[in-house]
Structure 1
Amino acid sequence: MPIPNDGHPSNQQCYVSFKHGHCPDPADFHSHDYYEISLILSGHMKSMLRDKEQDGNQPRLILCAPGTPHLIFMSSPSHYARMNLYFEPDFIENSIEEWHTLSRAFGKNGNIINLSRVDRERYQTELYQIMDDNNVIRKKLRILALLTYILENDSFTKQKTEPFSSPIVLDAVSYINNHYAERIVAADLAKSLNIGRTTLMTAIKKHTGLTLSDYVMKVRVKKAVVLLKKGISQEETAQQTGLGSGGGIIRAFRKCYAMTPGQYMKTLL
């Protein structure tokens, strides 16, 4: 999967983005083949990793190494602001002998680090500096300095993130993201996970803030946006994403975005 670049050349090995608004894209558990450092500046956001989670409006860093499953989404209506730093493994891993030590900042299953206001502003400034710097060597040095500061900062070892109390949710949402085009029935999914239907429904609601049917719909809508960007028709997109028909995709987009697929796609131009 290439680094997301908001229209910039796709061959970039390092990229910083800034996003804000009231309605981020529907979230789903996913992983990348590149490093990601997300800085949550504001908004009531929930961050979930395989073994920990954090919910609330606390500014935080979420660090994910390649292959780390993670989920970040708005858990209650609010304005959010977020910066993301992405970089390819080849961009920096071979640049310094101490990379193995610095990579500890990403943790075994990712890391969530709560931030003070001072640290939030510091990280925001450093990410903007990485964003604006066109010198590749300086970019690498800035990233190395950033990770060094994270490891040396007391907040790294004094976290109050909660243990991920329902690992079964990861299995459930992973299944949904692999089978979204198929018919997904709560009872069948619960049986495949060896849990009760009510247990599954309760866990999904607790950890994603959505009912199972709404979570499945949001995953399908997110996949539909990708296909629509490629110029695939609404009817074909609906069939490929499990939304059924042209009418089904329109209803889903209206529920998620309060607009039709065509209207929503125009907002992305």
Structure 2
Amino acid sequence: MTHDWSRYWRSPDRPIEAMHAHFERHVYHRHSHETYSFGLTETGAQSFSCRGGAHTSAAGMVMAFNPDDPHDGHAADALGFTYRIVHLGPELVAGALADATGRRTGLPLFDSPVVDDPALAYALRALHAALLDGGTTATALRREELLTAAVASIVRRAATRQPGSKAGDSTGKRVARRARQVLHDRPTDDLTIDDLARAAGASRYAVYRAFQAEYGLPPSDYQRQLRLRKARALIAAGTPIGEVAAATGFADQSHLTRWFTRCFGLTPGAYRRAAQQR
């Protein structure tokens, strides 16, 4: 008998979401988020692949995912793991850093997805607990303070590229970004690799290779992520799940539910209830 459980919280007006969960049997399908995602493993250990490598986050370790970082995940043993994770929109991270430094500094880059740092773990747990308590013990002002402190601490202690620095460009990156723009412009269309190749001005193989290298997913998987993100927004807004499935390019409600659960760790219905609680 499985003992998997999860609690989810979503801000009604800001790009902040948080989950507290224990998984023994659930296996995350390879997916990504449009947000920065910072997790803390509380008990047990979870294994996952990210950025071409295999990683394990044991109790007390922090995970740091950049926006669009593809990753999966599962329990490292039969005992499972308990973890907390906070998803923060890039604009919110930039704003928190501005609050901490007094000026807009751009966005950071995290190279290592696992960080063993007790100070970071403490800051992240404090923020997460304040978000999930629904204002019972932490005031709105206190939550803002914890958010600013946690983001500043994570960037200062774990970011590889500090805000303000710029990464170089290349032909492969440009090809990948042109293909990506087509997917963002037409997320529910039945696109082919030829459609992407024409838009990118490159061969089908070049598009596939460049896209995989830049974003860690093939274009079809990336398109599914876009559909799931749109589905989350519609579900949070109160749209019936069956209508959401039709509007986001899924075959039916069960198809959407299957992929939603595999990628986010909870069903669309549970996500809708978490959104409505606020």
Same fold (TM over 0.5): yes
Query: Cα 1:82–1:201, aligned 2, differ >3 Å: closer, same or farther?
Result: farther
1:1-269 to 2 correspondence within 5 Å? 6-7=8-9, 10-11=12-13, 17-20=18-21, 21=23, 22-24=26-28, 27=31, 30=34, 36=36, 38-39=38-39, 41=41, 42-46=46-50, 55-57=53-55, 60-62=63-65, 70-75=67-72, 78-79=74-75, 81=83, 83-84=85-86, 86=88, 88=92, 98-100=101-103, 104=105, 108-114=106-112, 118-119=116-117, 121-133=118-130, 134-146=138-150, 149-150=153-154, 153=157, 156=159, 166-167=172-173, 168-206=175-213, 210-224=217-231, 226-227=233-234, 230-232=238-240, 234=242, 236-243=243-250, 248-249=251-252, 252-253=255-256, 256=259, 264-266=267-269, 268=271
Query: Cα 1:237–1:56, aligned 2, differ >3 Å: closer, same or farther?
Result: same
Q: Which amino acid aligns with 1:38?
A: F
* Structure 1 unpaired stretches of 5+: 47-52, 64-69
Post-superposition offset of 1:74: 2.0
Q: Which amino acid aligns with 2:259?
A: C
The superposition leaves residues 40-91 of structure 1 with CA deviations (integer Å, 9 ceiling, x where unpaired) of 6554243xxxxxx67542654346xxxxxx213325x534855226485898
Output the CA distance in 1 between the equivalents of 2:160 and 2:215.
27
Q: Secondary structure at the match of 2:206?
A: helix
Q: Which amino acid aligns with 2:19?
A: F
Q: Which amino acid aligns with 1:44?
A: F
Q: Which amino acid aligns with 2:18?
A: S
Aligned residue pairs, count: 229
Output the CA distance in 1 between the equivalents of 2:241 and 2:143.
41
Query: Cα 1:149–1:38, aligned 2, differ >3 Å: closer, same or farther?
Result: closer
Output the CA distance in 2 between the equivalents of 1:27 and 1:131.
22
The superposition leaves residues 125-144 of structure 1 with CA deviations (integer Å, 9 ceiling, x where unpaired) of 21221234514454444445
Post-superposition offset of 1:123: 1.6
Output the CA distance in 2 between the equivalents of 1:193 and 1:135.
49
The superposition leaves residues 203-250 of structure 1 with CA deviations (integer Å, 9 ceiling, x where unpaired) of 34455555433443453355345545634463x54543234xxxx336
Output the CA distance in 2 between the equivalents of 1:169 and 1:82.
33
Query: Cα 1:14–1:258, aligned 2, differ >3 Å: closer, same or farther?
Result: closer
Query: Cα RMSD between the aligned structures?
Result: 4.7
- TM-score calculated relative to the size of structure 1: 0.59
1:67 corresponds to which residue?
none
Contact kept? 1:25, 1:222, Cα under 8 Å? no
Query: Cα 1:252–1:201, aligned 2, differ >3 Å: closer, same or farther?
Result: farther
Q: Secondary structure at the match of 1:110?
A: coil
The superposition leaves residues 125-175 of structure 1 with CA deviations (integer Å, 9 ceiling, x where unpaired) of 21221234514454444445445545654x54699xx98984233432342
* Structure 2 unpaired stretches of 5+: 1-6, 57-61, 76-80, 131-137, 274-278
Output the CA distance in 1 between the equivalents of 2:19 and 2:213.
28
Query: Cα 1:237–1:132, aligned 2, differ >3 Å: closer, same or farther?
Result: closer
Q: Which amino acid aligns with 2:219?
A: L
Contact kept? 2:11, 2:17, Cα under 8 Å? no
Query: Cα 1:40–1:171, aligned 2, differ >3 Å: closer, same or farther?
Result: farther
